[in-house]
Every structure is written in structure tokens, then in C-alpha cells.
A and B are shown apart, each in its own frame.
Chain A
Amino acid sequence: MLETLRTALRSLMSNKVRSLLTMLGIIIGTGAVIAMVAIGAGASQSIQQFISGVGANILIIMPGAPSVGGVRQQAGAGATLTTDDAEALQREAYSLSGVAPEVFGRVQLVHGNMNWSTLVTGSTEDLFYIREWKIEDGRFFFDEEARAGTKIVVLGATVAKNLFGEEGAIGKIIRIRNTPMEVVGVLAAKGQTPWGQDQDDTAFVPFATAQRSLFRRGIANSVQRITVAAVNGDSVPEAEREISAILRQRRRLEEGEESDFDVRNMAEMLDAAAQSTRVMSLLLGAVASVSLLVGGIGIMNIMLVSVTERTREIGIRMAIGARGSDIRTQFLMEALLLSVAGGLFGIGLGTSTSKVITGLLGWPTVISPGSVILAFVFSALVGVFFGFYPAWKASLLNPIEALRRE
């Protein structure tokens, strides 16, 4: 066995360039599998972290899709949720730790000669706690201000940077839709969502301010959504039932009547996102495996050439007493060595590629030992599988014919 290994090694070393080129297919294949799986795993891991970090207990209440003459409109198109609903939830629901009505829209913020377009949300103080915002500078706004419609604004880190650069923003007046507002707070940066959205590109104003000065809506008191937090992650189903019950009661809906609102569970939404990421990484892995397969075909190709070239050597070995199985093992060992060495290099390539991707593109990557082992075992199997045919062909050579060949 050791002898076979040494023989195989010597014959591969005697043709280094060819061995390296043959391995290249496997190297790239294994590397691609590892890098792709790492990207996929990184994406789903950061989604998971996002779920557990931000709002496994968050529920979003949206206005339902209203029917207008039997034609259902887009969900959220109606104006069926009001501040009264929000207040009722705050008063009556004991499974909720926070309730924040929201109106929002994309508007331009102007300071001096700088301007920045961002998502401005009008809400109450609760929203900061529900969404787990931290203050970097200044303060949040209070519920009294939210009700009174004070002309103040809390900026996300990205917005503050774009409007003020390195200067302090607190106390400065900016104009939003021509309404002057004082910056009272800048939020600590949260970074990107797993799908690459900048969470800090946002701004908050008191609810009444938004309603009166920024987004005038047809129906007074209507809100675009209500974001609530359940007491903890486990009480989410309970909270969902309670919200539904309170809102249905307020609307005097009979049993079986359709609700004009939707309660969505943040964790479920993110799960769906994670699910699609998994499918994506599976696809990436499958595409990468194809290149591993192509690498295997390269090995078979070279081994067939090698068998033809070394017919005489095979003849000598057979005359001297090598059995067919000895010859087969020898060539199989060479194929296996090629693919295993290629697999090892490929693991190196895949890991470093993942690091480079994280470094250059900022994509999170996770190299799991499982994927490394899988890719390695797979590449070894490719070697055995594609090495077998040439090896078997070599073992069937007739020694007389083989010796006669030049």
C-alpha cells in the first residue's frame, strides 16, 4: 500500500506541470463549492442573528386589503387603522410591551446647501424601544412631543453624516418639506440588514408632526401601520391573538367576518427571507459541484492519456509479476492522489476566497467544517469515480501487446 503510494507519487512528480493542470479542475471545483457554501451560510447566519437580535418579538399591524366593489386592493392601501386603534392596544393588551403607530414616507431633508432624501417615520417614543435603537447623541423625543406635534427630528447615523458631515447635528435646524425642524437626537449606527439595506438611512419625527406637516392623509388619524412588541419572543402567538381580538371588537366584527387589518410576525417574515437564502446557497453549491464534476472529467482524460503513454511500463510490470489488480490500484491511486491533493488545495483556495469576499465586498461568510469535509470527500470520490475507468482499462492490457508498444 505504502509502495503503491510512493510509486504513484513519483509518477505524478515526474510530470509536475501536467499533474498541476489536472488538479486545477478539482482545485477550482472544491474551492468554488466551499466559497459558495460559505457565502450562503454567511447570509443565513446573519439573517438568523438579525432575527434574534432585532425583533423576534416584533409584530406589525397593517391595514388590510380593502374590497372596493368586490375588487381587492393592495394590502395596506386602505386607511382602516387609526391612532385610536393604537391607543386601544396600549390600554387593553397586556401581552404587549410597546405600541407605536407609524406614518412614513420618503422625503427630502435640507440643511444649508446639503440635502438628503430618506425615509421619515412619524411615531411615538415606543418605536425606539421596540426597534431597539440606541441614541448616539442628544435624545429621543417624548410621547408629549409626539402628541403635541413639536417640530423636532431624530436622525439616523447615515442621514446625520450626509447632512452634517463631521459637525455636530444637535440643535441645528433642518427643513423637511419646507418645515423647519430642530435636530434633537442622532441614533447609534445599526449597520446593514442581511439583504444589504442601510438601516441607518432613516429619520424619525413625532407622530403628530408627521401627520400635520409631512404626510397629510385623507382620513384624519389614520396610520400606515402599528408596530408593537410582545413582552417576549414566546408571547408572540398570544400577542397576535390579543391584537386580533381587541381590534375586531373595536370594529364590531362578527365571527367569520373578514378582518380589515393584518397582523404580521417579524420572525416569520425573516424566516421566509432566510428560507430563500438557503435555496440560493443550495443552488450556488450545486453550480459549484458541476465544476468539481468537470474537474473529475479532466482527471479521467489525463489518466487515459497516461495509460496510453505508459503502456510499455504496464507491460514490464505485468511481465515481472504485477496482477491486473496491482496495475488498477496503481492508476487508481494516482487519480486519488490528484483529486485529494486538488481537494486540499481547493480547501485553501475556497477559504481564502471567502476571506477575500468578506474583505472586499463585506459579505459575511461562514466556513463550516461540514462543508469542508463534504467538499473534500466529494473530491476524493470524484477521483475514484473518474480514475476507475482508466485504471480498469490499464489492468486489462495484454502484457505481450503492451511490451511490444514503443
Chain B
Amino acid sequence: MSLIDARDIVKIYRTGDVELRALDSVSFSIDRGEFVSIMGHSGSGKSTMMNILGCLDVPDEGEYRLNGHSVGGMTSDSLARIRNSTIGFVFQGFNLLPRATALENVELPLIYAGVHARERRERGVSALERVGLADRIGHRPNQLSGGQQQRVAIARALVGETPLILADEPTGNLDTATSAEIMDLFTSLNRSGKTVVLVTHEPDVAEYSARIIRFQDGRVVSDERRDTDA
């Protein structure tokens, strides 16, 4: 069974009388352990697809199954639970809580999963260790560099032991060298068994993945698997 199974997904935005088909009958599936990049220019529908994949939004038509659960028609509470248990998000703008320490930020998903304080702390620390920030536990986001902030965000995505990591332009705010470090981190996470889905418009970044799905005008225009120098 695929982890992600999208079938004939349609998403329509209406502004006044104008109807925009942001996604027009999109189908693909992603298996566990894959490293996939979703590429496209702005307006290609890749962000809309990302929102649907991340269970932040539901399709108007078609069926999206995540980890065996059909997402269509779910209540917002059920979507929140699915997000919490299945998806680790990494955003372009890091999206850390500015007033919380690195560890508190990493613990956040566990709070909503109802994990006890002690276990939360242990798992938070080990997630920060995995991204190489064991010595930055008590720092606040404004005391960290961009790359370090993104590592904290990745640790936050790891801590819930979710099968899927969904990253939206994770290197968009970083310089080239730091981008490479972050992408190496994703690669090693993928090797350790995580399914990683990247949304990006940078071909350099997509190079790291084993499969690239290209979007244009709300449709999938190509879906190619390639050999990475593993």
C-alpha cells in the first residue's frame, strides 16, 4: 500500500466570477521510503498540492488517501490528528515560535499528541541531537542562524516519528552552502527510512531526490524516477 495515493484531485479557487482550476485531475502515488521532489513555477499548482498532501486543505473532487485513510470529508479535528500523527512539516520560513526555546519548539507536536513531559523532553533532545544541535537546546530562534533554525524545524518534524516529512521550499531562505547541509540532512533521513516529499522550484534542490514530479497549470506534466549517486 502506498503512503500517498492521490486520484483525480481537483481544486478550484473562485474569486468573484472567475474560476481557477488550481489542480486539474491530478493523480500520483508515493510509496514508503521514497524521496520525491514536486517541482513547478509559481502558479503551477504545486503549493495547492502541498496543502492537500499536508492535510491542511481538502480536494474539491477526487480522492486523497494518506497512510490508508481517506482524507476527503474529514472534520478539521480529524485532519489535525492525521497531521500530528503522520506528517512532519518543514517550511520555507522555518515557522518556529519566536518566544520558545529550540527544545520547546521541538516538543510542540508531542504536546498535541498528549505525550508526557519527561518523555517529551527525552525525545526532543534526541531529535535535536539527530540534527546536530544538541548544544543549542535552550536557545531561542533569534539566537540561531537560519540554517540552525531550519535544523530545529527538521527536528520538530522528526520528533513525532511520523512516516512522512513534507518540506515546502526548505532551502528558500538559506545560502547555497547551508542549503547543501540541509539537503544532506534530508538525504540521510531518507536513507534511515523516512519518506521525504519536497516542494521546490530550484532544480539544484530537486537533484537530491530520486523522483521528480513536475507541475504546470494544475496538471502533472512529468513524473521521472532517476538514479541518485547513492
Interface residue ranges, A against B (CB under 8 Å): 2-3, 10-11, 14, 312-313, 315-326, 399-400, 403
Query: Which of A319, A322, A325 interacts with B89 by CB under 8 Å?
Result: A319
The 8 A-B residue pairs with the shortest CB-CB distance, nearest first, are: A321-B84, A321-B112, A323-B80, A323-B77, A320-B109, A316-B95, A14-B99, A399-B56
A325 and B77 within 8 A (CB): yes
Q: Which residue of chain A has the shortest Cβ distance to B156 in the bound complex? A: A320
Considering the complex, give the chain B residue whose CB is closest to the CB of A395: B76
Minimum distance in angstroms from A6 CB to a CB of chain B: 10
Task: Give B75-108 as 1s and 0s: 1 = Cβ < 8 Å from A's Cβ atoms.
Answer: 0110011011100010100011101100000001
B54 at the interface (CB under 8 A from A): yes
In the complex with contacts A400-B51, A403-B91, A403-B95, A324-B109 CB distance below 8 A = no
Q: B56 near A319 (CB under 8 angstroms)?
A: yes
- Please classify the interface of chain A as helix (H, G, I), strand (E, B), loop, or mixed, using the class held by over half of its residues: helix
| Contact B57–A320 (Cβ < 8 Å) | no
Least Cβ–Cβ distance between B109 and chain A, in angstroms:
5
Task: Please state if A10 and B99 are interface contacts (CB–CB under 8 Å).
Answer: yes
Interface residues on B, range: 20 to 34
State A403–B91 Cα separation when bound (angstroms). 10
A320 and B91 in contact, given A11-B99, A14-B99, A400-B57 (Cβ under 8 angstroms): no
Alpha-carbon separation in the docked complex, A316 to B85 (Å): 15
User: Judging by beta carbons under 8 Å apart, are A320 and B112 in contact?
Assistant: yes
Which residues of chain A are within 8 angstroms of B111 by Cβ–Cβ distance?
3
- Please name the residue on chain A nearest to B89 by beta carbon: A319
Q: Is the CB of B97 within 8 A of A321?
A: no
Q: Is B74 an interface residue (CB 8 A)?
A: no
Min CB–CB distance A337 → chain B (angstroms): 16
Neighbouring B residues of A2 by C-beta, 8 Å:
117
| B97 and A313 contacting across the interface, CB-CB below 8 Å | yes
Q: How far is the CA of A3 from the CA of B114 in the complex (A)?
A: 10
B153 to chain A, nearest CB (A): 10
Q: Does B113 lie at the interface of the complex (its beta carbon under 8 Å from any beta carbon of A)?
A: yes
19 pairs, A vs B, C-beta closer than 8 Å: A10-B99, A14-B99, A313-B97, A316-B95, A316-B108, A317-B108, A317-B112, A319-B54, A320-B89, A320-B108, A320-B112, A321-B109, A321-B112, A322-B112, A324-B76, A324-B77, A325-B77, A326-B112, A403-B91
B78's nearest neighbour on chain A, judged by CB, is: A323
| Residues 122-147 of B contacting A (Cβ, < 8 Å) | none
Taking CB atoms and an 8 Å cut-off, the chain B residues in 24-60 that contact chain A are 51, 54, 56-57
How many whole Å from A339's CB to the nearest CB in chain B? Answer: 22
CB <8 Å contact, B113 and A321: yes
Q: How far is the CA of A3 from the CA of B117 in the complex (A)?
A: 9
Q: Which residues of A have CB within 8 Å of B156? A: 320
Task: Given contact pairs A11-B99, A323-B77, enumerate 18 new A-B contacts (beta carbons under 8 Å).
Answer: A3-B111, A3-B117, A10-B99, A14-B99, A312-B95, A316-B96, A316-B97, A319-B56, A319-B95, A320-B84, A320-B89, A320-B112, A321-B85, A321-B112, A322-B112, A323-B76, A324-B76, A324-B80
Q: Determine which residue in A312, A321, A399, A400 has the highest number of CB atoms from chain B within 10 A of its CB, and name it.
A: A321
**Residues of A close to B108: CB separation below 8 A:** 316-317, 320
